[in-house]
Amino acid sequence: MSERGKVDGQTKLVGIIGYPLRYTLSPVFQNAAFYHLKLNWCYLPLVTENKYLEKAVYGVRALSFVGVNITMPYKQKVIPLLDEVSADCEAIEAVNTIHLKDGRLIGYNTDGAGFLALLKEQANSDVKDKKVMLIGAGGAARAVAAAVAKAGVSEIYVVNRTFKKAVSLCEVLKEKCSFKAQPVDLRDGLTSFVGNADIIINATSVGMKGERLPLPYEKIGEGHLVCDLIYAPSKTPLLEEAEKREAKVLNGLGMLIYQGALSFKIWTGEEAPVDVMFSAAKKALAEPSQA
Ligand code: NAP
């Protein structure tokens, strides 16, 4: 918003469609960015029950929104409702950003690129030729796996509690990214995988409530970069263990901000003020209601 709280007939609208959307930070940091750049734009939470998803996406067009983000649980389900999707979305079968351009709804996925930006900007790390141990095989893991595969990593070990989902993610990587990854059961001895990996990524929800992943933590050391896609709490038990052992650690706040910054650029055509977005998100996370 060009002026805090001011909305008028010229205001351009964007938002986020999801359910139940209770803890989304996107309106906070996107509106902070609009305010900072004096753009007369407004980002709204659009809480949408499953039965109304089709109507809500129709509403993007009907109400002349510039675009929307799509979050859980609709990243896959929204695809048939769009006119076109980018190659990234096809690989991972998920859309997190829609842009209404010349009357057409175009789907993008900025999650994977957001993750790569996090590594580059906050750890000065290029993934090329690195070995990656990716824990998880859900939506976030798919986006990260496709992004790191395309960015030239040498190996990916996909570790998951439900082994068949690890296998299925490896099949997607082979088919869509021509990358041969190795599926691993989370209950297997993971010692050699942790020892071999340069980058360890937690893309499961384990750690949000302080739970520990069953990993051989003693094998983590100062040569590792350990990333957790979780950002609340800011330090999961995995990151605490890794930091204790002098590994470099990153939480998921950067991925959230960078994927949002990429959506911002798709909609507005302008570079997002990421520092402003970070400050707004951190301030909101420090408020007791976000805990
Ligand atoms: P999802 O599709 O539901 O996948 C959940 C994953 O967690 C699956 O691999 C699941 O394994 C695993 N899992 C859940 N409970 C487990 C347990 N008790 N033990 C072992 N594994 C368990 O969710 P998602 O969308 O991928 O999100 C995963 C995490 O990433 C969430 O914490 C989310 O907040 C975070 N995330 C962060 C960002 C960001 O921008 N920072 C973006 C997206 C997601 P099974 O296959 O065995 O069920």
pLDDT in tens, 160-200: 999 999 999 999 999 999 999 999 999 998 999 999 999 99
| pLDDT score, position 261 | 98
Q: Using CA atoms, how far apart are residues 105 and 83, in angstroms rounded to an integer?
A: 5
Long-range CB contacts (< 8 A, 24+ apart) of 210-215?
210/236, 210/237, 211/237, 212/237, 212/238, 212/241, 213/135, 213/186, 213/237, 213/238, 214/186, 214/187, 215/135, 215/190, 215/241
The CB of 67 under 6 Å from ligand 1? The reply is: no
Residue 290 confidence (pLDDT) above 60: no
| pLDDT score, position 128 | 94
Query: Within the chain, how many helices (H) and strands (E) appear?
Result: 10, 12
The ligand 1 atom nearest the CA atom of 204: 7
The CB of 185 under 6 Å from ligand 1? The reply is: no
Q: Which tokens belong to 77?
A: 């389900």
Is 64 in a helix, a strand, or coil? coil
Q: What is the pLDDT of residues 101-133, one digit of tens each?
A: 999 999 999 999 999 999 999 988 889 999 999
Give me the residue label for tokens 């650690």: 249
The CB of 231 under 6 Å from ligand 1? The reply is: yes
- Nearest-CA residue for ligand 1 atom 32 is 205
Catalytic residues: 75
Taking Cα atoms as reference points, which of 140, 98, 87 lies closest to residue 118?
A: 140
- Nearest-CA residue for ligand 1 atom 20 is 161
The CB of 71 under 6 Å from ligand 1? The reply is: no
Q: What is the pLDDT of residues 80-108, one digit of tens each?
A: 999 999 988 877 889 999 999 999 999 99
Q: Which H or E element spans position 159?
A: strand 155-160
Task: Out of 75, 229, 257, give the residue to mutate to test ligand 1, the one with the largest number of ligand atoms within 8 Å of its CB.
Answer: 229
